[in-house]
Amino acid sequence: MKFSAIAMLLGLACMGMAGTPGGWIWYPEKPQDNSVRAFRKTFEVDAPVKSAQLLVLADDGAEIRVNGQPGKPFPGWLKFNRYDVTKFIRQGKNVIAVRARNGRGEAGLLCRFEIFTAKGVIEVNTGADWKCSAELPANWEEPAFDDSGWKSAKRFGGANLSPWNKLVDVSPFLVAGAAKPEPVPPEKKGRLMLDDFSDCSSWMGWPHSGMRPGHNVLPYQLGFGAGPEPSRDDGGSGMIDYDFIRPGGRIFFEKNAVYKSPAVAEAIEFDANPQGYECEVLFELMDRSDKTKFKTLPVKLSGNAWKRYRLELNAKTVENFDALVFPVSIRGFWFVGGKPGKGRVLLDDLCFVVDQSDGTGAITVHPEYRGLAHGVNRPVRQEYRIRNNWHRPVENTVSIDVYDIADRKLFSDRRKLKVGAYGLGRIAFDVGRFPKKGSYRTEVTVRNPLAEQRFTGWFGVFEPNNKRLNTKPMWFGVEDQGLRNFRYEEELHIGWMKMLGIDIIRGNAIGRQLEEVPFTDFGYEQYRKMYQPHFDAGINLVFSYAGEVPGWTGKKFFASDREAFSRHMTRLAKFMGRNPGIRYFEWFNEPNLGYFRERNTDEYLASQRIFYPIFKQYAPQVKVATGGVVINHARAKKDFARRMYQENQEFYDVACYHGHEGYAAHVKSLETLDGWLAEAGVRKPFGNSEAGARSYYTHPDMFRLQAAELVKKITLTKSRNSEFYIWFMLHDYGDKYINADDSFGLVTVDNQPKPSFLAYNELIRQLADTEPAEPVELDKRLRNYRFTRGGEEIFVCWPQGSAFSFALRSSAPIVRTDIFGNETVIRPAGGIAFVDSGALPFYLRAPEGALGAVDAPLQVVGVPVFAPGEMGTVELELVNPYREPFSYTLIAGGSERSGKLRSGEAVRFRVPAAIPTDAQFGAAPFDCKLRLTGAGGAKFFDGSIALDSFVALPVSEKAGAKVILDRADQVREMMFDPNSPRWSGPEDLSAEIRLGRRGATLVFDAVVTDDDHSAPGKDAYVWQNDCIQVGIGTLAGDHYEFTVSGDGKGGATVWNHLRPRDNGSGAAWQVPASVKRQGARTFYHFEIPAALVGLKGTAGEVFRIAYLVNDNDKGRHMRFMEWNSGIQPSKNSNLFGWAKIVR
């Protein structure tokens, strides 16, 4: 979440404020999935109200009323909002009522009122004094309602409680608001640790004065970050590397993790050892309005030993202190040199001094970095640092649970650890040996009488590649923000890259840094020093000119002086020619989204024509790529990319693009790119210079999904004419960039490998030096890509729906390798092998031409589709595909059958199936056990087989069957750019869709929650609006698709996009429909005659169905949520789910 979103209490008066920080509450029973709970709080206001602000966080969502007056729904568990409730608050009795919803898993509600009156400030925070109920009786939201019979809410932690403190910025809830800090009594004194520099992390820096012209904050140059320092208790310290040629040099440093930790602090403290260099640091504070900066007096550093420094925050030390409204955060600090010189200043344990009596932030837990890889069957130890920020010793209980990728608990332990006042404790857990490669999740909880803190992390058991395996395109790569890394973090990252075995990185460069001083090489030499360690490690470079040409070429962002621009590009080309590790040059980052979005496209095309021949002359080994444009992006400048690819085809070597969308949308982007190139007869390779997928930090499912998306997208790109693929990013950088919103990395901010790191490691091993080959269908339910290498064929496969078992014709043993590298050799019997797909992508390796499709011996007849609670039968067919007879034993439906079949013979069985009433809609594999024995006693097969069967959405004349879309794994982002925020929770976009019937008419009712509603599209383009798309498929294979959208005039449009034989396609259907907006909710009602979509509408009829809810924010098609895939972009009804008409 962006810190700017918490500009939450604008215009606060300077006055004292009572109260304590809020805590997370919920109903005092275990949270139930898909449940709603009611909360109420009554409070008194004893003076006229000047203003009142409300802050809310809810997992997963909340609606609120103040004195019976409705407010808008509040964003959920990845976002919070500030709401002005002044007009609802009155002198006397007041009541807040909250309807809170939990989608699944943990649940919580966190609220904070700040009411400014003529007498002062009143705080109302969530706590055990709130009332709650599992029922929502009539008028429960009204002030007069009697809630005396309700239960007291359970407060189970402070605002900083994990996991929420890892998922969302909870800082506004951490402290009691105050106009000015009061001295903290000794018995309450504690620290809010901002940076203890124990992790190998970096601050971003900006040189200002006193350096050699053009000297930059880059690795191995100037900078500030963590590094090893054995004299410190945690083994690390902050290090400022300076190089001043004039007295009083200045560099500004900033770090997002520090900025996003506001507090009501009486002082700033830190340790420093300037190592004999006299210098100063002065801080820039940002007050709670997040708009105004306040500078402190400088703190003078001197001496050659460690010393504790303290800066009181008061009118003597902070400029314009009277206007400063707490809590405040450190926006950054200025490092000011003394005499000219070059060296290093050490700084450590930067913190606020605060009241820690409520325990918020009293302890912190972080993992010790011991590398990313653990060996198979080798002991695994997990070590953690527990820091006590309290003024007295604390006895802690530390527990750990370890889970595999399928969320099965494998290990649990609990220990005691006493940590001294302001001390650091270490604890280690030997969690066992792991016989399978994989990504394992850890959940660590630290409890003491003051506080509770939880940490979720990952460790990997795998075999690193540790070297480049690939010798030809497509090159496997990553992007790394090297120009923002301090030297030790940069070294760490290079080690990770070598571990992965990547071929190439995308390294960004800022034009003005390259040649700030005209016609000099100083800037280029700094960049060479930064990338030389990569070259030494055998890692090549895509040199990305991100923007900002030197100002002396005419303008800051783009040159207007052609002669000066040519001279700059000539020096750049000569620099690249001297560095053979630079293989590609990318001209501008996302030019059709950035500077050129508002400029003339012709300027960009002209620049390509100028520098391309220069590069061919001075750097012939460098392939020139186009700018990394986005393809199907709502904000992209119209026709920019197409014109660039087509009109300038003689002035580039590689067609470059970016693609952060999901796999299915990525396919569509590549098809668009193929079409543009073919349209102009362009035959050039392309390169993906930036593409990734977020893991978020919300749920293990999302980490698994990121790993799967990585394999799918890189495999797709590898299967085409591609030079390179750059995964964005190597490392999450949300702790570094101010207001960063990032989880694209392969490694977490705590330097732990995500499942995607292991998945990339194995993908490189499987696909290095392979060639794309003609596709071979193995199973219609399977998506696969085929590659060859040295007489072998490698299939990259994944199920298009749920996991299943399938058979293959095989003339040789098959090696099945999962996404993490676990190998299973499957030996065919009688020329047939059985394979389990699993849920994640996997690899099949065999001699070239050995594998082919075959009908499985055991199959279901037809498609067994049942409604929840239904009793039915499944018809099975057993076929002998072997060339000799076999004996069989089949256990299915609670009974056992045995017999013999000659080659080519078949037999059918009908077995009972009972579907639970609470069964979830979707695939419900029908499990059977089968043993096949050849005539000579050879064992053909002996094991379990999961056959297709499905639980359908029941369509009845009673209350419509409900589908809920409210999870991150149901979201498909359409774009990524700095101005397009990610999905931030159910209140950003979610839906509840019900389907019933009235006779032979399908009746749909839906409620879509969306914090912004836009409907600019008309007719055939209504699907780009905030709208609902429905796909329906018949058993005959007919595919229908239509969109329901508001028309902007209070009415509704139902537009038919797809209908068999084009009968009525591309036109509006005249059917009953309405779309009404109320607050942040949109209510849809539409009725579709069954005959209009190829159905009879009679009881027992089954059909396929999918829903898609589009999100358009301010005219831009941002994302969609889907229940069953197949609508966008594939138009494939075989991917739809099932529905069944019932009585």
Q: Is the pLDDT of residue 212 over 90?
A: yes
Distances (CA, A) of 479 to 175, 441, 665, 669, 696: 38, 25, 22, 21, 18
pLDDT band at 12 (very low <50, low <70, confident <90, very high): very low
Backbone φ, ψ for residue 662 (5° rounding):
-70, 170
pLDDT in tens, 970-1004: 888 776 655 566 777 787 889 999 999 999 999 99
Q: Which of 271, 309, 272, 268 is nearest to 285 (CA)?
A: 268
Distance between CA atoms of residues 305 and 296, nearest Å: 24
- The mean pLDDT value for 1024-1032 works out to 93
Helix (H) or strand (E) run with residue 224 in it: strand 223-228
Q: How many other β-carbons are positioned within 10 Å of the β-carbon of residue 729?
A: 20
8 Å CB contact between 521 and 531: no
If you average pLDDT over residues 121-129, what whole number do you get? 88
pLDDT, residue 4, reads: 25
Q: What is the mean pLDDT of the chain?
A: 89
User: How big is the chain by its Cα radius of gyration, in Å?
Assistant: 31
pLDDT score, position 430:
98
Give just the sign of the alpha carbon dihedral 262, 267, 271, 276: positive
CA 612, distance to chain mean position in Å, is 37
Q: Phi and psi at residue 494, in whole multiples of 5°?
A: -60, -40
Residue predicted with more confidence, 308 or 1019: 308
Within 575-695, strands assigned E span: 582-587, 623-625, 629-630, 655-658, 686-691
- The Cα–Cα gap between 444 and 467 comes to 33
Rounded to 10 deg, the angle between the 522-536 and 487-500 helix axes is 40
Least confident of 360-364, 379-383, 402-406: 360-364
Query: What are the tokens at 529?
Result: 């020093």
**pLDDT, average across residues 882-894:** 92
Output the pLDDT for position 325: 73
Determine which of 238-252, 361-375, 801-815, 1039-1053 has the lowest per-residue pLDDT on average: 1039-1053
Q: What is the rounded distance in angstroms from the CA atom of residue 699 to the CA atom of residue 705? A: 10
Contacts of 315 by beta carbon, 8 Å cutoff, 6+ apart: 321, 322
Report percent pLDDT > 70 for the chain: 93
pLDDT of residue 183: 87
The CA distance from 696 to 645, in Å, is 34
Other Cβ atoms less than 10 A from the Cβ of 333: the count is 28
pLDDT digits (tens, 9 = 90+) for 920-968: 888 888 889 999 999 888 899 998 888 888 899 999 998 778 999 988 8
- Is the model's pLDDT at 1096 over the cut of 50? yes
**Rounded Cα–Cα distance for residues 258 and 262 (Å):** 8
| Long-range pairs for 716-719: beta carbons < 8 A, 24 or more residues apart | 716/663, 716/666, 716/667, 716/670, 716/785, 717/474, 717/670, 717/688, 717/691, 718/474, 718/767, 718/770, 718/772, 718/785, 718/787, 719/772, 719/785, 719/787
pLDDT value of residue 73: 52
CA dist., res. 193 & res. 195, Å (int): 6
- Tell me which of 182-186, 569-573, 923-927 is least confident: 923-927
Lowest mean pLDDT among 120-124, 200-204, 615-619, 799-803: 120-124
- Average the pLDDT over each of 162-171, 357-366, 985-994, 1049-1058 and give the range with the smallest value: 162-171
254: left (phi over 0), alpha (psi -120 to 50) or beta: beta
Rounded to two decimals, what is the model's pTM?
0.84
HSE (side-chain half, CA atoms, 13 Å) at 416: 4
Taking CA atoms, 983 is separated from 745, 966, 1029, 1084, in Å, by: 17, 11, 19, 22
- Angle (CA) 240-244-248 rounded to 5° is 95
Domains of the chain: 3-173 (2.60.120.260), 186-354 (2.60.120.430), 363-461 (2.60.40.10), 475-693 (3.20.20.80), 772-853 (2.60.40.1180), 858-951 (2.60.40.10), 953-1141 (2.60.40.1190)
Structure confidence at residue 56 (pLDDT) = 85
Between 328-342, 749-763, 839-853, 937-951, the lowest mean confidence (pLDDT) is in 937-951
CA 437 to chain centroid, in Å, comes to 24
| Per-residue pLDDT tens digits for 671-684 | 999 999 999 999 99
- Write down the pLDDT at residue 289: 54
Q: Within a 10 A sphere around the Cβ of 924, how many other Cβ atoms?
A: 22
Q: What are 67's two structure tokens? A: 């004195």
Q: Are strands 939-947 and 1102-1113 parallel, antiparallel or unpaired?
A: unpaired
Instruction: Give residue 9's pLDDT band: very low, low, confident or very high (50, 70, 90).
Output: very low
The yes-or-no verdict on residue 13 having pLDDT over 50 is: no
Angle made by CA atoms 926, 927, 931, in degrees to the nearest 5: 135
Which residue from 863, 947, 946, 875 is spatially nearest to 911, judged by alpha carbons?
875
What burial class does residue 1098 get, using C-beta atoms within 10 Å of its C-beta: 0-12 exposed, 13-18 middle, 19+ buried? Answer: exposed
pLDDT at residue 610 is higher than 50: yes
Cis peptide before 393 (omega within 30 of 0): no
Using pLDDT thresholds of 50, 70 and 90, give the confidence band for residue 15. very low
Compute how many other C-beta atoms are within 10 angstroms of the C-beta atom of residue 605.
16
State whether residue 668 is helix, strand or coil: helix
Tokens 């650890």 locate to 417
Is pLDDT larger for residue 665 or for residue 71?
Answer: 665
Q: Indicate whether 1118 pLDDT > 90.
A: no
Whole-number pLDDT of residue 668: 87
| CA atoms of 366 and 385, how far apart (whole Å) | 5
Secondary structure of residue 756 in the 3-state scheme: helix
pLDDT surpassing 80 at residue 515: yes
Question: What pairs with residue 1009 in β-bridges?
Answer: 990, 1081
Measured between alpha carbons, how far is 353 from 343 in angstroms, rounded to an integer?
Answer: 30
Give the three-class secondary structure for 188.
helix
- CB 951 within 8 Å of CB 920: yes
Q: Is the peptide bond before 702 cis (omega within 30 degrees of 0)?
A: no
Predicted confidence band at 756 (pLDDT cuts at 50, 70, 90)? very high
Q: Which residues lie below 8 Å from residue 1068, measured CB to CB, with a gap of 6+? A: 1019, 1053, 1054, 1055, 1056
Q: Where is mean pLDDT largest: 139-148, 396-405, 915-924?
A: 396-405
Which residues, 6 or more positions from 764, have their beta carbon under 8 angstroms from its beta carbon? 465, 469, 470, 476, 500, 501, 502
CB environment 435-451: b (16+ within 10 A), e (fewer): eebbbbbbbbbbbbebb
Helix (H, G, I), strand (E, B) or coil at 399: strand
For 1043-1070, letters b (16+ CB in 10 Å) and e give: bbbbeeeeebbbbbbbbeeeeebeebbe
Query: Does pLDDT of 1049 surpass 80?
Result: no
CB under 8 Å to 1089, separation ≥6 — which residues?
1000, 1001, 1002, 1071, 1097
- Exposed (0-12), middle (13-18) or buried (19+): which is 528, by Cβ within 10 Å? middle
Task: Report phi then psi at 523, rounded to 5.
Answer: -65, -40
Per residue in 653-666, pLDDT tens?
999 999 888 888 88
State residue 336 phi and psi, 5-degree precision. -120, 120
Q: How confident is the model at residue 3 (pLDDT cuts 50, 70, 90)?
A: very low
Q: Looking at the predicted structure, is the pLDDT value of residue 884 above 70?
A: yes
Output the pLDDT for position 332.
Answer: 96
Token match 């569509």: residue?
A: 668
Checking if the pLDDT of 629 tops 90, the result is yes
- Tokens, residue 943: 């094991």
The residues with which 333 forms a beta bridge, in sequence order, are 253, 283
Cβ-proximal residues to 496 (8 Å cutoff; 6+ apart), any chain:
372, 730, 731, 746, 747, 757
Residue 72, pLDDT > 70, answer no
Q: How far apart are CA 373 and CA 777, in angstroms?
A: 36
- Residue 421's pLDDT is 94
CB 1041, CB 1057: distance < 8 Å: yes
Q: Which amino acid is at 87?
A: K
Query: Is residue 202's pLDDT more than 90?
Result: yes
Q: What is the pLDDT of residues 893-914, one digit of tens each?
A: 889 999 999 999 999 999 998 8
Q: How many residues does the chain have?
A: 1143
Only one residue has tokens 């026709």, namely 639
Average of pLDDT values for 409-432?
96
